[in-house]
C-alpha cells in the first residue's frame, strides 16, 4: 500500500480514483459494511448530481470559513460540466431539469455507484469494509477490523470521514478528538440543509406529509422557489434547505404564498370571491391549494378580513419556527477543520502527508447539486495533491 483513503463516500472514492490513476497503490478503509451509504440515501428520491450553471454562479452558493477559491473547492479541476462528463464516462445517462439540476436518467444513485466501484476495482483499488479508524498508534493509523486491531503505515493519507450529520450512516465525527489532539483546529459542527421545528396547531395535522408547492421563501440574501413538506415535527425539503443556513444564523424568513401574482392582483381576486364564503374557503378558492390556505390561517393570525391587507399578509407571511432540527436529521453539517489548519492543497499543516476532503472541512453548500459536486471536487483536489506528495517523496 502506498496511499490510504479513510472513508468511502463521494470525496473518498474520488480521491482514490485520482490516486490510482496517478499510479498509486490505494487502500480504502470504510467503517460501515458497505460504501457510500449517505450517497445512496440521498439518491433514493432522485440523485441530484450537480447544477448546470456558470462556474461563477455555482461557486457563489458555497459558504463557510474556507475561501471560495479553486484551491479549496476544486472548480479548476472539477466544475459542473466536468462532473457530468465524469458520470457519462461511467456509462450513466443524464438529463437536466428545468431548474438546471442534473440527474441520472434512472434517477437512482446505485447504478452510478456500482459502475464507479467496478472501475476502482479495475484500477487495483482495494476496499476494506468494517475497518473503523480508531486513532493514532505512534506514527501509525490504528483500525478496529473484523480480525482485530490493525495498524497501517501508509506513505500518504486522504481523510474523507464526513461531518456530523446522519451519524447512523457513518458520519459520526468520532475523529474530532484525534485530530484536535494533533493541533488541528476544528470549528464546532452545526446542522446544515436541515428542516425547522414547528409547534403546529391541531388543525394542521391533516396536512402532515403534504408537499407545499408554488411558494417562495426568502431569508436574508437567499431565496427559494422549491417544494417543501409539512411534517409532524415541522418543515423539511429542498425548498427549505436552500435558505436554511440564513434562517439558522438568525435571519427572519418570509413566505410568499402567491409569488406569481402581485399584491394588487391577489387582492382583486380575493375581493371577487363570493362574500358568502368563509375566510378559509375564500382563501382555498383564490390560492387554489388547501395547504397554502392552511398556512396563511396558521401563521397569519390575526388575519385581516379586508382583501388588500389579507393579500399583503399572504405575500409576506412570517415563517414562525422553534429552531433548526438537529444533526441527526440534517442532510449535511457546517463546521469542521478550519482553513488555518490546511494548505491550499488540503494538506493538514500539523500532519504532513495527510490530506482532507468533503464534509470534514469547514464549509457548506445547499442541496441541489452543490453539496455533492463540492465533495467530488475536493476529493479530486486532495487526490491530486496526495499523488504529487508521493511523487516528490520518491
Model confidence pLDDT, tens digit, residues 161-187: 999 998 998 899 999 999 999 999 999
So what's the pLDDT on residue 76?
60
**Owner of C-alpha cell 498508534:** 137
Supply the pTM of this predicted model.
0.92
Q: Are 73 and 62 in contact (CB under 8 A)?
A: yes
So what's the pLDDT on residue 268?
94
So what's the pLDDT on residue 278?
82
Average pLDDT, the chain: 93
CATH class of the structural domain 3-191+333-393: alpha beta
Phi, psi (rounded to 5 degrees) for 234? 160, -130
Q: Are 357 and 382 in contact (CB under 8 A)?
A: yes
Q: Rounded to an integer, what distance in angstroms lies between the CA atom of residue 203 and that of residue 295?
A: 10
Strands 156-159 and 354-356: parallel
Handedness of CA 135, 137, 139, 141 (dihedral sign): negative
Segment 190-206 shows an average pLDDT of 96
Q: Rounded to an integer, what distance in angstroms lies between the CA atom of residue 358 and that of residue 278?
A: 53
Q: Rounded to an integer, what distance in angstroms lies between the CA atom of residue 287 and that of residue 309?
A: 15
Q: Give the closest residue to 174 by CA, choosing from 186, 158, 192, 156.
A: 186
What's the pLDDT tens digit per position in 248-299? 999 999 999 999 999 999 999 999 988 788 888 888 888 888 999 999 999 9
Q: Rounded to an integer, what distance in angstroms lies between the CA atom of residue 37 and that of residue 96?
A: 25
What's the pLDDT tens digit per position in 111-145? 999 999 999 999 999 999 999 999 999 999 999 99
Q: Where in the chain is the domain with CATH 3.50.50.60?
A: 3-191+333-393
Q: pLDDT at residue 73 above 70?
A: no
Amino acid at each position: 500500500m502506498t496511499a490510504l483513503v479513510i472513508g468511502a463516500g463521494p470525496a473518498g472514492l474520488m480521491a482514490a480514483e485520482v490516486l490510482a490513476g496517478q499510479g498509486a497503490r490505494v487502500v480504502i478503509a470504510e467503517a460501515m459494511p458497505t460504501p457510500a451509504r449517505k450517497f445512496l440515501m440521498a439518491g433514493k428520491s432522485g440523485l441530484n448530481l450537480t447544477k448546470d450553471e456558470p462556474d461563477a454562479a455555482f461557486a457563489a452558493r458555497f459558504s463557510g470559513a474556507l475561501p471560495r477559491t479553486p484551491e479549496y473547492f476544486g472548480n479548476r479541476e472539477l466544475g459542473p460540466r466536468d462532473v457530468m462528463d465524469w458520470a457519462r464516462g461511467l456509462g450513466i445517462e443524464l438529463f437536466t431539469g428545468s431548474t438546471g439540476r442534473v440527474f441520472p436518467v434512472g434517477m437512482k444513485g446505485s447504478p452510478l455507484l456500482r459502475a464507479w466501484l467496478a472501475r476502482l476495482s479495475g484500477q487495483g483499488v482495494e476496499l476494506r469494509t468494517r475497518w473503523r479508524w480508531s486513532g493514532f498508534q505512534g506514527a501509525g493509523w490504528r483500525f478496529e477490523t473484523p480480525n482485530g486491531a490493525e495498524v497501517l503505515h501508509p506513505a500518504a493519507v486522504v481523510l474523507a470521514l464526513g461531518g456530523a450529520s446522519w451519524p447512523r450512516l457513518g458520519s459520526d465525527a468520532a475523529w474530532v478528538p484525534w485530530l484536535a489532539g494533533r493541533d488541528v483546529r476544528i470549528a464546532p459542527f452545526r446542522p446544515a440543509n436541515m428542516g425547522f421545528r414547528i409547534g403546529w396547531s391541531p388543525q394542521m395535522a391533516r396536512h402532515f406529509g403534504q408537499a407545499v408547492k408554488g411558494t417562495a421563501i426568502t431569508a436574508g440574501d437567499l431565496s427559494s422557489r422549491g417544494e417543501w413538506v409539512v411534517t409532524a415535527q415541522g418543515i423539511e425539503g429542498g425548498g427549505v434547505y436552500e435558505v436554511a443556513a440564513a434562517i439558522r444564523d438568525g435571519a427572519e424568513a418570509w413566505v410568499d404564498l402567491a409569488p406569481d401574482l402581485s399584491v394588487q392582483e391577489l387582492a382583486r381576486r380575493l375581493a371577487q370571491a363570493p362574500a358568502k364564503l368563509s375566510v378559509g374557503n375564500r382563501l382555498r378558492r383564490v390560492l387554489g391549494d388547501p395547504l397554502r390556505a392552511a398556512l396563511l390561517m396558521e401563521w397569519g393570525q390575526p388575519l385581516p378580513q379586508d382583501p388588500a391587507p389579507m393579500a399583503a399578509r399572504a405575500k409576506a407571511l412570517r415563517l414562525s419556527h422553534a429552531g433548526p432540527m438537529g444533526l441527526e436529521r440534517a442532510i449535511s453539517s457546517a463546521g469542521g477543520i478550519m482553513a488555518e489548519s490546511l494548505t491550499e492543497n488540503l494538506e493538514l499543516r500539523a500532519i504532513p502527508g495527510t490530506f482532507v476532503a468533503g464534509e470534514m472541512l469547514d464549509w457548506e453548500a445547499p442541496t441541489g447539486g452543490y453539496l455533492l459536486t463540492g465533495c467530488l471536487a475536493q476529493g479530486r483536489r486532495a487526490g491530486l495533491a496526495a499523488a504529487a506528495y508521493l511523487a516528490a517523496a520518491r
